[in-house]
Structures are given as C-alpha cells and as structure tokens.
C-alpha cells in the first residue's frame, strides 16, 4: 500500500480526560480490531502510536485506503488545540512526509479528504482553521531536508 494521503482528525471529546486507551476502547466497541488511527496526539502534546502504519486504518470512510490518520485529542469545535499539540502535529506530519516521500499537499482534514464519504466537521473549526498554517510549517521543514 503506497501512502498518498495524510488525514487530520480530532477526537471530538474532552482534551484533558481523553487518552489513547479510551479511543481504543471506543473503536473496539464499534467492532474495529484495534484503534482506527495510526497516531494519537494527547492533550499534553504527547505523541502516541496507534494502529501500525503497515495496516490500513479505520478513520475516514471512503478514504482509508492509501492514507494514514492522526487524531488530535480534543473537541476543536469548542476547544482550541494547545501549542504543544500543534507542534506535535507538525512533527507527525513532517515525519510521515519524509517516510513516505510526500509533501504538504497530501495533508487533509477529515472533512475534505478526497474519496471521503462522511459529512463531518472533523477536525473541528478551531483546528480546521489552523490547517493552512500547519501545512506551511510542514512545507518549511521539508525544504530543510
Ligand atoms: Zn475525523
């Protein structure tokens, strides 16, 4: 599977109380074999591995093939992502671009990923509106390669 799209999500749950283990439990309750995301960025900005990147994710219906999903913990319709979370997100996305020979144009929000069939506000307006700046930061880091 050649990775072509990197998809940013939010958990749509409280950034303080939600941990990777909670997401894993919710996804198993929905019948997934394991957590659907490949990386989780917790409220403190800590980066936690999710599903192995060699296994197709379950995070963006219609666009799971050839994509990786990262979930930033928080409800960014109402909360604002923390600075450490944004830095961690730039780190994750830059790392994936390096690993899979991609650039910032491969980065999407769940709401606008090509092929996606879910109508969604994910990753929430307060993260969605930072995606252009996040992509610029990734692009700047990639130019330093
Ligand atoms: Zn999502």
**How confident is the model over 88-120, as pLDDT tens digits?**
999 999 999 999 999 999 999 999 999 999 999
Where does the pLDDT of residue 15 fall: very low under 50, low under 70, confident under 90, or very high at 90 and above?
confident
**How confident is the model over 59-72, as pLDDT tens digits?**
999 999 999 999 99
Distance (angstroms) between ligand 1 centre and the Cα of 127 equals 12
Distance (angstroms) between ligand 1 centre and the Cα of 9 equals 4
| Residue 145 in this model has a pLDDT that exceeds 70 | no
Query: How far is it, in rounded angstroms, from Cα 53 to Cα 122?
Result: 21
Of 68, 69, 72, 65, which Cα lies nearest the Cα of 86?
A: 72
Distance (angstroms) between ligand 1 centre and the Cα of 97 equals 20
Where does the pLDDT of residue 1 fall: very low under 50, low under 70, confident under 90, or very high at 90 and above?
confident
Q: What CATH number labels 5-143?
A: 3.40.80.10
Distance (angstroms) between ligand 1 centre and the Cα of 111 equals 7
Distance (angstroms) between ligand 1 centre and the Cα of 118 equals 9
| Both tokens assigned to 23 | 């997401």
Distance (angstroms) between ligand 1 centre and the Cα of 140 equals 25
DSSP, residue by residue, 105-130: GGEEEGGG-TT------TT-HHHHTT
Distance (angstroms) between ligand 1 centre and the Cα of 69 equals 8
């Amino acid at each position: 599977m050649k990775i072509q799209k990197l998809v940013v999500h939010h958990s749509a749950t409280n950034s303080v109380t939600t941990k990777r283990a909670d997401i894993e439990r919710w996804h198993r309750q929905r019948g997934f074999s394991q957590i659907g995301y490949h990386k989780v960025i917790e409220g403190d900005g800590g980066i936690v591995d999710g599903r192995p990147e060699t296994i197709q994710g379950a995070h963006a219906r219609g666009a799971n093939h050839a994509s990786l999903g990262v979930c930033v913990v928080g409800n960014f319709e109402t909360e604002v992502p923390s600075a450490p979370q944004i830095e961690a997100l730039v780190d994750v996305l830059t790392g994936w671009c390096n690993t899979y020979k991609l650039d910032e144009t491969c980065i999407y929000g769940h709401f606008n990923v090509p092929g996606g069939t879910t109508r969604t506000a994910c990753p929430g307006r307060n993260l969605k509106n930072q995606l252009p700046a996040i992509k610029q930061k990734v692009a700047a880091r990639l130019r330093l390669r």
